[in-house]
Structure 1
Amino acid sequence: MKALALVVACVATGALLAGCSSAGKPTNKDDSAFTYLLDRQSNWVENKVDSLPPLPQDANLLPFEVSGNTPLHFAVDSKSLTVGNDGVVRYVVVVTSPSGARNVNYEGIRCDTYEWRQYAGLNADHDGWDQTVANGFTRIENGTLNAYQAALYQDYMCANKMPTGNAQKIVDNIRFKRTAASLIH
């Protein structure tokens, strides 16, 4: 009996060692090509911007803070803000200098890539949009005094690479100064 038990134990040990050695063999599978489901790049397509919003009215402007070190004032037109099913938050921004000069742009922030683009700017006659200033998506700049896209992205519009909610929720957050940092409990 002892001999039979010894043979069975040896066979079992041999099978176990054979299994372990085959598990450690290199394979042709490239583990560096592994991507998590949420990190996979889809064939993203931006929604077509067929029409531009009306020019902003002062009564609809919602001021927001960018930096205590800049003399410029920043505001978003509450009536222009939309959230597309492409993950882009579109809005009209008004940047006002201390002397009263204004830059008015229609822009979009793409939440999943931390990028922004301009669709149009106020024309030279200040009575309509100029689409010749439009550009493609570019990385949002951090750390500059006038990096208002970074402030909008981080404080109000995006979280976890997604819009923070529908347009009304984002507008309410800007209106009531509910930044992402102020919502952490």
Structure 2
Amino acid sequence: MADKFHTVVAATLLMVAAVAHAQSRFEEDFDDKDKPWQEIAVQLPAAPQPGDLVPFYVSATATQSFAIDTRSVSVGQDGVIRYTLAAVSDAGAKNISYEGIRCATYERKLYAFGRNDGSWSRSHRDQWERIQSNAANRQHAALTKDFFCVEKTVAGSAEDIVQRLRQGQTLAPQSNR
């Protein structure tokens, strides 16, 4: 009888240990904190059309005006907001670029430059860079703070972001602009 009791106890302990191990593996599989971030493959969008460009405010001292192609705005599974940016200088020079902003790290990346024929030229500077709030690159800080991110989180879906851009409805209080 004692042997049967010990066998049942041993089997029960093995079963409890197996369940505990399975539970820890289950939790490990869903623990994204310790997994390294990985960027998804980027697909370049169609060239922007004038009717899809929505301007946004950068600063009173900006020497360029900026607009986002609303058809190009996307939020990837990797947490990156990707968009086409149109910049026009006071002298009339135009630049089109396809870029990404990562709220979690307050970084930006330049993927490609638009050509006059509507095609793209991939950027040779294919790395993430910290967003600066200085006058020279204020457009990235304005997008991040005013339309894209709350703290280190993407502020809604691509549709939410486009709606804010179209309505000129910023996330930041007016005093912070």
Aligned length: 144
Question: Partner amino acid for 1:171?
Answer: V
Structure (1 or 2) with the greater strand fraction: 2
SS of residue in 2 equivalent to 1:135: coil
Partner of residue 103 from structure 2, selected from 111, 118, 139:
111
Q: Is the CA contact 2:110–2:123 (under 8 Å) kept in the aligned structure 1?
A: no
Q: What does the per-residue CA deviation read over 1:38-91, in whole Å, with 9 as the maximum and x for residues that have no partner?
A: xx5531111111x21011011000100111111311000000000011110000
Could you state the TM-score of these two structures normalised by the residue count of structure 1?
A: 0.72
Runs (5+) with no aligned partner, structure 1: 1-39
Question: Partner amino acid for 2:134?
Answer: G
How far has the Cα of 1:142 moved from its partner? 1.2
Q: Is the CA contact 2:46–2:118 (under 8 Å) kept in the aligned structure 1?
A: no
Structure 2 Cα separation of the partners of residues 144 and 152 of structure 1: 14
Structure 2 Cα separation of the partners of residues 147 and 133 of structure 1: 22
Structure 2 Cα separation of the partners of residues 117 and 65 of structure 1: 21
Let me know the Cα RMSD of the aligned residues. 2.0
SS of residue in 1 equivalent to 2:156: coil
Structure 2 Cα separation of the partners of residues 45 and 152 of structure 1: 23
**CA 1:41/1:126 → structure 2, altered by over 3 Å: closer, same or farther?**
farther
SS of residue in 2 equivalent to 1:81: strand
Alignment-derived partner of residue 180 in structure 1:
171
Question: Partner amino acid for 2:97?
Answer: N
SS of residue in 2 equivalent to 1:42: coil
Aligned positions of 1:83-94 closer than 5 A: 83-94=75-86
Runs (5+) with no aligned partner, structure 2: 1-32
Q: What does the per-residue CA deviation read over 1:83-119, in whole Å, with 9 as the maximum and x for residues that have no partner?
A: 0111100000000012221110000001100000011
How far has the Cα of 1:141 moved from its partner? 1.0
Instruction: Give 1 or 2 for the bigger CA radius of gyration.
Output: 1
Q: Percent identity?
A: 38
Structure 1 Cα separation of the partners of residues 159 and 130 of structure 2: 26
Aligned positions of 1:71-86 closer than 5 A: 71-86=63-78
How far has the Cα of 1:162 moved from its partner? 1.1
Alignment-derived partner of residue 35 in structure 2:
42
Alignment-derived partner of residue 150 in structure 1:
141
SS of residue in 1 equivalent to 2:72: coil
SS of residue in 2 equivalent to 1:79: strand
Q: Is the CA contact 1:72–1:96 (under 8 Å) kept in the aligned structure 2?
A: yes
